[in-house]
Structure 1
Amino acid sequence: MSHVPHELHEEFPEAEETLRTLKANDAHFARLADEYHTINREVHRIETNVEPAADEVLENLKKKRLHLKDQIAAMIAAAVNTVT
């Protein structure tokens, strides 16, 4: 079990500038990033036993986080491909 928070800037270190630009200029991306951050923090609190939860709850949150990360990755890739 990982006790390391999976912040977006850590997940996509090569895309830090793109992350900032998308957050500032794309309301849908900003909403996805905020939702990712909220779920990510909740997962981290559960994994570090700050906020106990059933294994099923943790697994569902991780699946949601992964789905959001996939959407975010696709948006980052599209933005990078548009620029290059």
Structure 2
Amino acid sequence: MSHVPHELAEEFPEQQELIPALIDRDPVFAALVKEYSALNIRVHQSEVHERPMEELAEHQLRKRRMFLKDEIYRRLRTAA
């Protein structure tokens, strides 16, 4: 598989050290990151036609990924 864009380290480069620390100490944050990563891979697979899906399904995954990213960012800001 090619490089998957929208990885959290790329989205929040200034928080690269905080992300693993929060994963270790906050199970809710860890679950958010795990779900975000899984959705991100699935969206990428659809984009590169590795595992195509219907447009509406992909759109719903993108919306969920955006919600997760916003929640992850909110938690990162609170922890920083």
> Same fold, TM exceeding 0.5?
yes
For residue 66 of structure 1, what is the aligned residue in structure 2? Answer: 66
Q: How many residues align?
A: 78
CA–CA distance in structure 2, aligned partners of residues 5 and 42 of structure 1: 11
Runs of 4+ in 1 over 6 A off after TM superposition: none
State percent identity of aligned pairs.
41
- Residue 78 (str. 1) matches residue 74 (str. 2): no
Partner of 1:34: 34
Q: Distance in 1 between matches of 2:55 and 2:8?
A: 24
Which residue does 1:22 correspond to in 2? Answer: 22
Report the RMSD for the aligned CA atoms in angstroms: 1.2
CA distance in 1, matches of 2:48, 2:19: 27
| Residue 64 of structure 1: how far off its partner (Å) | 0.2
SS at match of 1:6: coil
Separation in structure 1 between the aligned mates of residue 17 and residue 62 of structure 2, nearest angstrom? 26
Q: What whole-Å deviation, never above 9, does each CA across 1:2-38 have from its counterpart, x for those lacking one? A: x852101110000011101101111000000000000
Match for 1:77: what amino acid?
A: R
Structure-1-length-normalised TM-score:
0.89
Matched residue, 1:44: 44
Computing the radius of gyration over CA atoms, which structure comes out larger, 1 or 2?
A: 1
Task: Give unmatched runs, 5+ long, in structure 1.
Answer: none
Instruction: Note the residue ranges of structure 2 that are not aligned, 5 or more in a row.
Output: none
